[in-house]
Amino acid sequence: MASPVEPEFRGARRRLVETLQDKGIRDLAVLRAVDMVPRHIFVPETVRHRAYEDSALPIGNGQTISQPSVHARSVEHLQLTGKEKVLEIGTGSGYQTALLAELAAQVFSVERYRELLDRARPILQQANVRNVSLSLGDGTLGWREYAPYDGIVVSAGAPHVPPALKEQLAEGGRLLIPIGDREEQMLTLFTKRGGRLERRDITPVRFVPLIGAGGWPG
Ligand code: SAH
């Protein structure tokens, strides 16, 4: 990715990569992606100076860009090799979309707020991300047209796995989703084997709620 690199952010981004290593992120492809993607262009200007802290930040519409370590851990669990087709629910700022685009062949991302999608689209272009398709709508219904997906990552907290996402996951595919109540969830990894989902708990997290037909009421 030929990123619009501003030298003043390079050092900060390198330090973020070191912080993620200290926090246990081991996958070199994931660390390289964090080193490549200019997170500062995905966050609002008012918080740009904090873009390379390991913190969640507000992105508008009452939503937040997650902590870089949460993003890194999530994408690490998808174990991408560069060949996969991935579905992301909750484009938000588009930052994780850009990380996924570095790590997979094709990324499909669904967001329910038009304002966020309209903001993310030109930023992804500016970051030279080409292998991403964006869609406005209810991501709890997935994106049937391009299914099945080798990986699905849900960036908002759900009461349970939306049935459409289980259906649209390929055999052997991995689904990462925060499951719990509206305040606190367990980041959960599901692997599809023999048409069934095997469950593994990863870590407690706090995500904004997944609003939609297969999630929480709005
Ligand atoms: N990965 C994003 C996370 C943004 S927060 C980032 O780091 O910027 C979660 C996002 O999920 C919000 O943008 C919210 O609007 C979106 N969202 C919530 N429910 C959704 C649904 N049913 N379909 C699509 N997007 C949804």
The domains found in the chain, sorted by start residue, are 7-205 (3.40.50.150)
Q: Whose CA is nearest to atom 11 of ligand 1?
A: 90
Q: How far apart are CA 215 and CA 197, in angstroms?
A: 18
- Told to judge if 69 belongs to the known catalytic residues of this protein, a careful annotator would answer no
User: How far, in Å, from the CA of 111 to the mean position of ligand 1?
Assistant: 6
Catalytic residue, from 66, 69, 93, 109: name it: 66
3-class DSSP state of 168: coil
Which pLDDT score is estimated for 2? 42
Instruction: Determine if the pTM surpasses 0.85.
Output: yes
Atom index in ligand 1 nearest the CA of residue 96 equals 1
Most distant CA atoms of the chain, gap in Å: 50
CB atoms within 10 A of CB 170: 15
User: How far, in Å, from the CA of 155 to the mean position of ligand 1?
Assistant: 6
Kindly list the protein residues whose Cβ atom lies closer than 6 A to any atom of ligand 1. Answer: 59, 63-66, 89-90, 92-93, 95-96, 110-113, 116, 138-140, 155-156, 208, 210-212, 215
With beta carbons less than 8 A apart as the criterion, state whether 190 and 167 touch. Answer: no
Atom index in ligand 1 nearest the CA of residue 140 equals 22
- Non-local (6+) Cβ contacts of 42 within 8 A are 51, 59, 65, 93, 94, 95, 98, 120, 123, 127
With beta carbons less than 8 A apart as the criterion, state whether 34 and 20 touch. Answer: yes
Which pLDDT score is estimated for 6? 67
Q: Whose CA is nearest to atom 6 of ligand 1?
A: 65
CA angle 134-139-142, nearest 5°?
90
Q: How far apart are CA 45 and CA 159, in angstroms?
A: 33
Q: What is the mean pLDDT of each run of 10 residues along the chain (218 residues)?
A: 64 96 97 96 95 96 94 95 98 98 98 97 97 98 98 98 98 98 97 98 95 97
Q: Count CA atoms within 13 Å of residue 85 on its CB side.
A: 13
User: How far, in Å, from the CA of 139 to the mean position of ligand 1?
Assistant: 9
Which pLDDT score is estimated for 1? 47
In the chain, the amino acid numbered 171 is E
Q: Whose CA is nearest to atom 17 of ligand 1?
A: 90
